[in-house]
Structure 1
């Protein structure tokens, strides 16, 4: 049994060729807020420290100020935290997501879903392969 048709809208905010904010980066910011470090946030999300750090680096380079402040070392003030701008960007991005989520409920979506197949038809190439077995075998 297949699931009912669904609408998935993903918001990505670009700075040049880089994705400055998207769903995964927003989730990483949430994890940094909770965990207090990039490495712990990465582990909580099932990603390597390097991957998490690279995502933070992209975010910090795309906005007029960093979204994540890092302090190396083992002192109580070490680790990572969202900056004031990071908190604001995350809050506004989540607000955009909530607004967009309402688009999947309503007459326009219902009309599109009514026309959508539960599964796509086989491609023309697949249908030809089934209809005409190899000659000479």
Structure 2
């Protein structure tokens, strides 16, 4: 089944798309950049670079470090991080609904081999 992938260009070569949003969601659920990276088959270094990139795109960080303590340290999404994820998912849903008919029309024209590969 065909699907729509949304990438938002924010200017000056800066963009946010499904991979970065998934990383934020995995950081949110795991509380760890390292665990989020592993879940996406990504090195800690690459995950950290993407977090730093995203933190630099907005007026405030999307991910912040939590200090250690009884449960140890880790990372968490900031309120802005949660808002960016929610806004992206809303844009993605709205765009998907807007092009559903056109995607169906494209799928109807696929060759049998291309349809089977989906």
Q: Do the aligned partners of residues 112 and 66 (structure 1) sit closer, same or farther apart at CA in structure 2, a change above 3 Å counting?
A: same
TM-score normalised by L of structure 1: 0.70
The aligned counterpart of 1:36 is 31
State how many pairs are aligned.
112
Deviation at 1:113, TM superposition (A): 4.4
Moved more, 58-67 or 97-106: 97-106
Deviation at 1:78, TM superposition (A): 1.6
The aligned counterpart of 1:62 is 57
Is 1:85 matched up with 2:76? Answer: no
Q: Structure 1 unaligned runs (5+)?
A: 121-137
TM-score normalised by L of structure 2: 0.80
Question: 1:70-109 to 2 correspondence within 5 Å?
Answer: 70-71=65-66, 74-75=68-69, 76=71, 78-106=73-101, 108-109=102-103
